[in-house]
A = this chain, B = another copy of it.
Amino acid sequence: MANILIQGATILAMKGAEQEIKDGEIVIQGDRIAAVGPCGSIPANYRADRVIDGSGMVALPGLVNCHTHAAMTLLRSYADDLPLMEWLSQKIWPVEEKLEPEDIYWGTMLCCLEMIKSGTTTFADMYFEMNQAAVAVEKSGLRACLSRGLIGNAPNAGQALAESIAFIKEWNGRAGGRIKVMLGPHAPYTCPPDYLRQVVEAAGANQVGIHIHVAETTDEIEQIKAGYNQTPVGYLHHAGLFELPVLAAHCVHLDEADIEILARYQVGVAHCPESNMKLASGIAPVARLLEAGVNVGLGTDGAASNNNLDLLEEMHSAALLQKVATGNPTVMPAFTALSLATTGGAGVLGLDGEIGLLKAGMRADLILINLQRPHYYPLHNLIANLVYASQSADVDTVIVDGEILMEGRRVLTMDEEKVIRETQQRATRLFGRI
């Protein structure tokens, strides 16, 4: 692991203020940040193996994608513009039954490739054949929280939980600590109370968190109301879930009591505006959640319902959607949106001591964005530009744990053409055409 010095970039450290350091310096020592400051911050005894010229660029913490289904890149643009249940039952599920373990590896590789190219350095995944996903994450150089999806009312529910526990033992903390395992009970409507209690017990015994879909659609609200006379959040609370660290994806349909519970238990919410818009699920009350002190991050959801994994775009959509939904243009200002994508996401994944800020002692997870593009000029306000005008092709350099994963848009940890070719071939096998 090399010592890297980044010189000349404008630095957005994201330390709770909108302060920018012009012509800054970031000192990386091994897998950690050793110093961040204006030109001249290098500690006396530091020797750089590599110097990166960051002039004309902005350095910020790597983006955090708090909810996806990585290998669903294989199903990108396969089925769109359909009602949710028709989309799932007639299109998505039948294909997922045909996926083989190696498909998951290559689909996850494609996800990692797209994420690196769009500035994401950490993501939270829920899918199956997670050993394959873990191998792909290890190879890609990204950081990830991985969870096998557990359908509590499926015939293999017990076996899936047992495999999840084995997966924890094999992979939690691996890849130099870049891989963290969570348990992934799918959703309130697919996990009966008894099963949830088993999951809670296993999570506690293995000291891992829980990743779950919560209150995504009005159908779910009605189903949990009919079955248990509770809201999804109330139902999970009752099952004891929130005694553990929980990553709750979506949280579109909430009442005030739900919001109070999410805040009290410091549940992390993965807000997925584009998936919620595309599937017409609704608009999460993010402004209200933030006001109530809930931890919120952003997620793209899987590529089948988005249809990209572009977190800069997600941040933009999140800000615009809250403004129009509340009728208030001052809601979710640019700095808040950027915070959700960085510090917010880090908190939601329980990694806030490690990533999400650029400061000494943190993991060296950061990106450089090239500002030499007409859509950033004149350079009035860097943060507004990043939130409202950027695109992921502007991301130039990506570093995770002090390793350079992309430089000058060239991905160094995988063969981009091979990943594209492999996934295209696998899709052709799976779908019989393309």
Q: Interface readout for A398-434 with B: 1 if CB under 8 Å, 0 if not?
A: 0000000000000000001001100110111001001
- The reply to whether the CB of A80 lies closer than 8 angstroms to some CB of chain B is yes
Q: Which residues of B contact A319 (CB under 8 A)?
A: 278
Copies of this chain present: 2
Q: Which residues of B contact A327 (CB under 8 A)?
A: 280, 282
> Judging by beta carbons under 8 Å apart, are B329 and A278 in contact?
yes
Also in contact, A388 and B308, with CB within 8 A (given A78-B380, A378-B427, A434-B378):
yes
- The reply to whether the CB of A131 lies closer than 8 angstroms to some CB of chain B is no
Min Cβ gap A336→B in Å is 9
How many residues of A sit at the interface, in one of the four size bands? 35 or more
Q: Which residues of B contact A156 (CB under 8 A)?
A: none
Q: Interface readout for A317-336 with B: 1 if CB under 8 Å, 0 if not?
A: 10111011011111111100
- The reply to whether the CB of A256 lies closer than 8 angstroms to some CB of chain B is no
Surface stretch bound by B, among A110-118, A174-182, A206-214, A240-248: A110-118
> Judging by beta carbons under 8 Å apart, are A380 and B324 in contact?
no
User: Bound complex: CA of A110 vs CA of B377, how far in Å?
Assistant: 8
Interface residues of A (CB under 8 A from B): 73-78, 80-84, 87, 110, 113-114, 117-118, 274, 276-283, 303, 306-310, 313, 317, 319-321, 323-324, 326-334, 372, 374-375, 377-381, 384-385, 388-389, 391-394, 416, 419-420, 423-424, 426-428, 431, 434
Min Cβ gap A113→B in Å is 5
> Judging by beta carbons under 8 Å apart, are B393 and A77 in contact?
no
User: Bound complex: CA of A377 vs CA of B242, how far in Å?
Assistant: 38
User: Bound complex: CA of A332 vs CA of B317, how far in Å?
Assistant: 18
20 contacts between A and B (CB under 8 A): A77-B381, A77-B384, A77-B389, A80-B333, A81-B384, A113-B374, A117-B374, A118-B375, A277-B323, A279-B323, A280-B329, A283-B324, A306-B388, A313-B313, A317-B320, A372-B420, A377-B420, A377-B427, A380-B427, A391-B393
